[in-house]
Structure 1
């Protein structure tokens, strides 16, 4: 298992270029691959074999609308190019979260690990909330006991926010609704 903090990946819209009848990785895409490859070299990461789980947290540079899937191709290909794994076909479980923008530090936080238990069976899993390994009852149990307790304590807060109008993820007050 290894954790990486990589630069925010280019969109798939700028990753490819058409040259005649051929489709090539763009200059921006090749630069991103080289950057990720050098980061992996500096961390002395070993190429992982077998089935893998990849968890990604995207922190974009600005508030523009972005589809999370547009960032995946460049990121996963660059990690393969850099030697994190042999082929991105090894990935059997992939989670992606998009967080609030950070103009000072746009990034992709990546955790790559072997599959701790076959899909559908009990075993060790990674908590979706705290990224710690825990003993799981099965595929539906993806949050550890301590995080479940935290969720139950703050469940009332989450329930009270359900159904409210939002703008860029933030709840809009009634006075702001009139302005929008």
Structure 2
């Protein structure tokens, strides 16, 4: 199952530092986080993805167009959360995870999900 989309909200995932807002015990998903989750959900549904009960391998390739330093692991939580109930029932089903960050002419995000037998 491959998910790609031209939506700017989908192509540029928020880092975990901008995904959660609030302080102390009062934490909530930011507006940008909500928009990203919605865009990713729409792209996944357009790809006819349905939730699986099996363990999955998730592969993420993030093409970024600028030279800003960003930690690759900070984009994972928004992606994993957005796919809950869409590609799998819970992100605890992700048993394998591959992430790659590349320079590109434009921002894009490719997500491949494979069931593990």
CA distance in 2, matches of 1:20, 1:111: 35
More relative contact order, 1 or 2 (CA 8 Å, 6+ apart): 2
Cα 1:23/1:53, change in 2 over 3 Å: same
Instruction: State the TM-score, normalized to the length of structure 1.
Output: 0.58
Please state how far the C-alpha of 1:30 moved relative to its aligned partner. Answer: 0.4
What is the root-mean-square deviation of aligned Cα atoms in Å?
1.6
CA distance in 2, matches of 1:114, 1:46: 12
Please state how far the C-alpha of 1:97 moved relative to its aligned partner. Answer: 0.8
Question: What's 2:8 paired with?
Answer: none
CA distance in 1, matches of 2:111, 2:41: 14
Question: What's 1:22 paired with?
Answer: 26
SS of match in other structure, 2:49: coil
CA distance in 2, matches of 1:99, 1:30: 25
SS of match in other structure, 2:84: helix
Asked if structure 1 preserves the Cα contact closer than 8 Å seen for 2:18 and 2:33, the reply is yes
Question: Is 1:93 aligned to 2:92, yes or no?
Answer: no
CA distance in 2, matches of 1:54, 1:33: 16
Instruction: State the TM-score, normalized to the length of structure 2.
Output: 0.87
Aligned length: 112
CA distance in 1, matches of 2:93, 2:24: 32
SS of match in other structure, 2:22: strand
Larger Rg belongs to: 1
> Hey, which bits of structure 1, 4+ residues long, moved more than 6 A?
none
Asked if structure 2 preserves the Cα contact closer than 8 Å seen for 1:63 and 1:101, the reply is no
Please state how far the C-alpha of 1:115 moved relative to its aligned partner. Answer: 1.4
CA distance in 2, matches of 1:61, 1:13: 20
